[in-house]
Amino acid sequence: MMISTKGRYALRFLVDVAEHQEDGFVPLKDVAMRQEISEKYLEIVVKELVKGGLLSAHRGKGGGYRLKHDPEEYNVKSVLELMEGPLCPVACLESEHNVCPRKEACRTLGLWQGLDEVISDYLGQFTLADLSKRPEKKEIQS
């Protein structure tokens, strides 16, 4: 599984908005500048985030974007699934019911199901609030 630029930029955009929306709507150009991402590319990403119900948009003076909910309510897994589609490691796990004709005899299905669960659990534990926290300096111990 490889997360695309679109998925990575969506997370960066949402985290940036979460960190800067206290003063109102956050202009796309400001996020693009801070994140060093093309405005044109961000427009494509943001359109999907608005359509997916994650952002509110306001046009005109003082316009820009805001999160529709608190950052704690945005799960990283859901954001990536919105942008990427299913995050399953193999196609046979993409739908709720595995329709693979070989599923009963498949020697590797359990492996893929386990990996899918690990990915889901790992990404599901983080929120935008978690990503917005400034990393603390770790002391190097000798």
Question: pLDDT per residue over 22-68, tens digit each?
Answer: 889 999 999 999 999 999 999 999 999 999 999 999 998 888 999 99
More confident residue, 67 or 134: 67
The answer on pLDDT for 75 being more than 80 is yes
In this prediction, residue 134 carries a pLDDT of: 65
The answer on pLDDT for 103 being more than 80 is no
Dist. CA 38–CA 33, nearest whole Å: 8
Q: Give the mean pLDDT of the chain.
A: 90
Q: What DSSP character marks residue 26?
A: B
pTM given for the model: 0.86
The answer on pLDDT for 141 being more than 50 is no
Dist. CA 134–CA 120, nearest whole Å: 24
Q: Give how far Cα 131 sits from Cα of 52, 77, 87, 127, Å.
A: 20, 13, 20, 7
What are the backbone dihedrals phi and psi of residue 65, each rounded to the nearest 5 degrees, phi first?
-135, 150
